[in-house]
């Protein structure tokens, strides 16, 4: 596996692959890799001839009171894991490489509407940071396909809109969420939780499953289902920020005849903020 921090080196190698007729899949990550990330790598290997993984903890998607400085970083261990998985190229740029004139004055990409609700309402500016850095990574790596996790469902919907609106020549795919045995969605931030908190956090998935069951049984009072799931999460000892039932794709409000839904939630447990979702096909 090659490991580069230079944009020019990345572009030159990927250009060689394309000139030889090969296809390229990109998996953008912030590192501290776990089994969920590796499922994205496996999906990428099935989608293209060459797999590129980027590791970059992007400062512009963290709010002023969030955990940018403390976000877990394990680049050398991640590199070994990716090499063992058969990844062709690890791109691990510095902040200066990605934002040579400074992150505060860098050009940004904003997807209005989708970026302003749910996660966007609770984390102002977060999605602008995500879309801006992913647009950079797509332009640098020129992949044929990019692979993301379904756990960040709203993020994926926004990135798909961005790629379509900007006519980016890349196909975006989502890989289903990897879960712990207890149902908790895998996340780098789970490492902040002790064993008891990890068990408490399973209430998130259980509440989503209950909403899913009721939807499949014919319930259509979406606000009531949202309130019930939120109450269940709160009763378990977490602080829910929202539970929302939305249309798959554009995250619009569903109607009585909707058939493709996603139930999304975010909740805090101590200082840790956790998100999850379930897709429901009626």
- The per-residue pLDDT for range 76-115, each reduced to its tens digit, is 999 999 999 999 999 999 999 999 999 999 999 999 999 9
End-to-end CA distance of the chain: 44
Q: Is the domain of 120 the same as that of 226? A: no
Judged against a pLDDT cut of 90, whether residue 65 lies above it is answered with no
What is the per-residue burial (b if ≥16 Cβ within 10 Å, else e) of 200-220?
Answer: bbbbbbebbeebbebbeeeee
The domain that holds 128 is classified in CATH as: 3.40.50.620
Partner residues linked to 244 by β-bridges: 264
Please tell me the pTM assigned to this model: 0.97
Which domain range does residue 6 map to?
A: 2-175
Percentage with pLDDT > 70 across the chain: 100
Give me the number of domains the chain comprises: 2
Tell me the per-residue pLDDT of 5-34, one tens digit each, with 9 for 90 and over: 999 999 999 999 999 999 999 999 999 999
18 is catalytic: no
Of 34, 37, 122, 126, the catalytic one is: 37
Q: Is the domain of 237 the same as that of 127? A: no
- Distance in angstroms (rounded) separating the CA atoms of residues 268 and 186: 15
User: What pLDDT was estimated at residue 129?
Assistant: 98
Q: Is the domain of 129 the same as that of 22? A: yes
User: What pLDDT was estimated at residue 209?
Assistant: 98
Which of 143, 175, 207 represents a domain boundary (last residue)?
175
Angle between helices 126-141 and 7-19 (to 10 degrees): 50
């Amino acid at each position: 596996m090659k490991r580069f921090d230079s944009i020019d080196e990345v572009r030159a190698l990927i250009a060689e692959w394309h000139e030889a007729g090969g296809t390229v899949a990109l998996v953008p990550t912030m590192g501290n890799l776990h089994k969920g990330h590796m499922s994205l790598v496996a999906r990428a290997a099935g989608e293209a001839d060459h797999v590129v993984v980027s590791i970059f903890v992007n400062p512009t998607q963290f709010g002023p009171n969030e955990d940018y400085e403390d976000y877990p970083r394990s680049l050398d261990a991640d590199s070994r894991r990716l090499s063992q998985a058969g990844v062709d190229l690890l791109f691990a740029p510095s902040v200066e490489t990605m934002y040579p004139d400074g992150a505060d004055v860098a050009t940004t990409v904003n997807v209005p509407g989708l970026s302003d609700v749910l996660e966007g309402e609770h984390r102002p500016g977060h999605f602008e940071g995500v879309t801006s850095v992913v647009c950079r990574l797509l332009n640098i790596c020129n992949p044929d396909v990019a692979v993301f996790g379904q756990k960040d469902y709203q993020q994926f919907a926004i990135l798909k809109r961005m790629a379509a609106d900007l006519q980016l020549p890349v196909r975006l795919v989502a890989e289903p969420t990897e879960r712990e045995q207890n149902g908790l969605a895998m996340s780098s931030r789970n490492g902040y939780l002790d064993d008891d908190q990890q068990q408490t956090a399973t209430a998130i998935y259980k509440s989503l499953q209950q909403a899913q069951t009721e939807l499949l049984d014919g319930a259509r009072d979406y606000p009531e289902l949202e309130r019930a799931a939120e109450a269940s999460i709160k009763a378990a000892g977490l602080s829910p920020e929202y539970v929302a039932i939305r249309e798959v794709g554009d995250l619009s409000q569903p109607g009585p005849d909707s058939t493709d839904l996603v139930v999304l939630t975010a909740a805090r447990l101590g200082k840790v903020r956790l998100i999850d979702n379930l897709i429901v096909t009626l």
